[in-house]
Amino acid sequence: MDAPMSKNMRTGFTGTFSILLTCMASSLGLSTTVDNAAGKEKPNFLIIVADDVSWSDFGCMRSGCAALTPNIDRLASQGIRFNNFFCGSAQCTPLRHELFTGLLPATTGVYDNINRGRDYKNYAEYLIDLGYTVGLAGKSCPLSHQRIVRVEGFVGGCNDRKPTWSLDGVRKFISSSEAANKPFCVMIGSVHAHHPWTVGDASKTPPDGIVVPDQMVDGPITRRCLSLHAAEVGELDNQVGAVMAMLKELNLDQKTVLIFLSEQGKAMPNGKWSVYDYGCRALCTVRWPGTIEAGAVTDEVAMYCDILPTLVDLAGGPPPEDIDGYSLRKLLVGESRTHHRQNALMFGQKCLIQRAIRTKDFKLIWNPDRSSKYYQKEIMSNNSRKFFHKAWAEWVRRAATDPDARAKVDHVLKHPEFELYDIRRDPFETNNLAALPEHEQRVKQMFEDLTTRLTKLNDPLLKKHTPPRTKRIPRETIDD
């Protein structure tokens, strides 16, 4: 899809104008690193983005399925934690595109890892225009980075079998920013816990002790997958702990907004590449001592596209124009208990054409193309070399004789027009309520809300009289 033109597109005018203002302020002896509204120094930002980690993998989310994450849990206790935080598409490129630009997939046309979209203005340009130095370590996003400092120390390739990491480059970048008397924003794109799940201490999370999520077929290979993934999450937790210790050592805790984001869910069925919460729901926790209440928890719905306007707002900048995100500042600092966003949208495009809308309590999934099955080659193809494919193969073998396993496999492959889930009672979305008479009005209203939002976003799905067909399912997948 060709993305629509927008004022958000890179024109160079905004940046040039801001630079002129900065130069004028400097010549007059004025500070460009002060929030004029609050009369305070602009905060620093340090953002850690994990890779392929489901919302339920953290102890602070109290799912019962968590890995060992003492540092991330401690971070959550020191700031605010979001219970309902989502990405628009559960794949790396569209998620990071949403984070960097504040735009949803329907706006940019970036629904999956193949379509990279146009070069929209990104968060770094907004912050640089506000006087920040901006650095990026580790995994990146396919957007222009001419004005971003590349920070060494973290592996950028997510399929690295032995990814190493060091905070030396981050520390150096922070020190140079401090020496220049400029606020900084540094983003660490961790590759943990992306497959191949080869680091971390799996002895701390043995298969026998794993709690298998409700939507999965319980078996030894599935448990082994979850065990290895949990070990990698443990290494991610070590990184977060090291970042917290570094900020304390540099005496920057009070001056730095520390944000942790867990990206999309793990590469397992109904996780990554899906519109279910196991794929699209993330952990977001934000710490700013003295400004954000420690231990705060909110059920307000928020999305990845809300991060960019939040950064700009906290930095004292004007609201970005023509983006899909809303600033979370008032919610973070306690000025409001509500957020502008009443619901979140999810866009399934690669594996099956799907759209979903999520409120605090319910999720409605719309499956307009019911003639096709869900198909994800990395998980389902017998030619896949991914270890998590072995878990799917285990499910399929069990489904031949086990009715419960068969139902769970069908839940991945087959989809009625509507699926409705009561998230509070059914967080892993196993019990579809859409056909029940008592939910008829809820389905109708949520579908109306969904199509209204999609129309405003100019989603191409609504323009087609016949929904686009997805790839045919190879014979190697399970038969009907």
Q: What share of the chain is helix, strand, coil (3-state, %, to 5)?
A: 35, 15, 50
Residue 71's pLDDT band (boundaries 50, 70, 90)? Answer: very high
Label residue 392 by pLDDT band (50, 70, 90). very high
Pairing of the two strands 133-138 and 296-303: unpaired
Claim to verify: residue 373 and residue 331 sit in the same structural domain: no
Q: Note whether 365 and 457 are same-domain residues.
A: yes
Contacts of 273 (CB under 8 A, 6+ apart): 90, 91, 267, 279, 350, 351, 376, 379
Asked, as a colleague might, if the bond just before 400 is cis with ω within 30 of 0, I would say no
Q: Is 245 found in the same domain as 368?
A: no
d(C-alpha 139, C-alpha 155), whole Å: 7
Residue 238 to residue 212: CA distance in whole angstroms? 24
pLDDT at 143: 75
Looking at residue 117, its pLDDT comes to 65
Domain boundary among 290, 322, 342: 342
pLDDT of residue 6: 45
pLDDT at 40: 62
Picking from 342, 364, 399, the residue at the C-terminal end of a domain is: 342
**Shared-domain flag, residues 109 and 248:** yes
304 burial class (0-12, 13-18, 19+ CB within 10 angstroms)? Answer: buried
Calpha distance 435→418 (Å, rounded): 8
Domain assignment present for residue 145? The answer is yes
Which of the residue ranges 66-70, 146-150, 277-281 would you say has the lowest mean pLDDT? 146-150
Q: Are residues 355 and 328 both part of a single domain? A: no
- The answer as to whether 479 is a domain residue is no
**How many residues in the chain?**
480
| Exposure string for 423-436, b = 16+ CB within 10 A, e = fewer | beebbbbbebbbee
Residue 87 to residue 306: CA distance in whole angstroms: 10
- Using CA atoms, how far apart are residues 348 and 419, in angstroms rounded to an integer? 14
Q: What is the count of structural domains for the chain?
A: 2
Domain extent, residue 78, equals 43-342
Q: What is the amino acid identity at position 230?
A: A
Helical H segments across 315-421, by residue range:
329-332, 377-380, 387-399, 403-413
pLDDT-derived band at 313 (thresholds 50, 70, 90) equals very high
Please, what is the angle between helix 220-249 and helix 168-179, to 10°? 30
34 found inside a domain = no
Cβ count within 10 A of residue 158: 18
Q: Are residues 200 and 52 in the same domain?
A: yes
The residues, ordered by sequence, that sit 6+ positions from 59 with a Cβ below 8 Å of its Cβ are 66, 67, 68, 69, 70, 72, 73
How do residues 93-142 score in pLDDT, each as one tens digit? 999 999 999 999 999 988 888 776 677 899 999 999 999 999 999 998 87
**CB-based contact 309:325 (threshold 8 Å):** yes
- Mark whether 336 and 452 lie in a shared domain: no
Of the chain, the end-to-end C-alpha distance in Å amounts to 33
Q: What is the pLDDT of residues 157-170, one digit of tens each?
A: 777 788 889 999 99
Q: Is residue 30 part of a domain?
A: no
Residue partners of 310: CB distance under 8 A and separation at least 6: 325, 327, 328, 329, 332
Which CATH number is 398's domain given? 3.30.1120
* 234 and 186 within one domain: yes
Cα dihedral sign for 294, 233, 112, 157? positive
Task: For residues 109 and 90, state if they share a domain.
Answer: yes
Strand partners, 256: 44
> 297 with 416, same domain?
no
Is the model more confident about 403 or about 263? 403
Domain end among 342, 366, 383: 342
pLDDT in tens, 411-428: 999 999 999 999 999 999
What does the pLDDT average to over 443-457? 95
204 with 68, same domain: the answer is: yes
Residue 127, domain CATH: 3.40.720.10
Q: Are residues 276 and 384 in the same domain?
A: no
83 closest CA partner among 284, 292, 280, 265: 284
Given a contact cutoff of 8 angstroms between Cβ atoms, the answer to whether 223 and 9 are in contact is: no
What is the percentage of the chain residues whose pLDDT exceeds 90?
Answer: 77
Among 32-46, 237-251, 284-298, 350-364, whose mean pLDDT is lowest?
32-46
Phi/psi of residue 258, nearest 5 degrees: -105, 120
pLDDT digits (tens, 9 = 90+) for 212-229: 999 999 999 999 999 999
Task: For the full predicted model, state whether its pTM sits above 0.85.
Answer: yes
Q: Which whole-number Å values give the CA distances from 255 to 78, 245, 250, 258, in the listed order?
A: 14, 14, 11, 10
Residue 428 has what DSSP assignment? T
Strands 80-86 and 354-358: unpaired
Residue 471, in any domain of the structure? no
How far apart CA 25 and CA 1 sit, in angstroms, is 43
Residues in contact with 50: Cβ distance below 8 Å, sequence separation at least 6, in sequence order: 190, 192, 193, 236, 260, 261, 262, 263
Pair of tokens at residue 334? 């306690």
Residue 264 in tokens: 């999309």
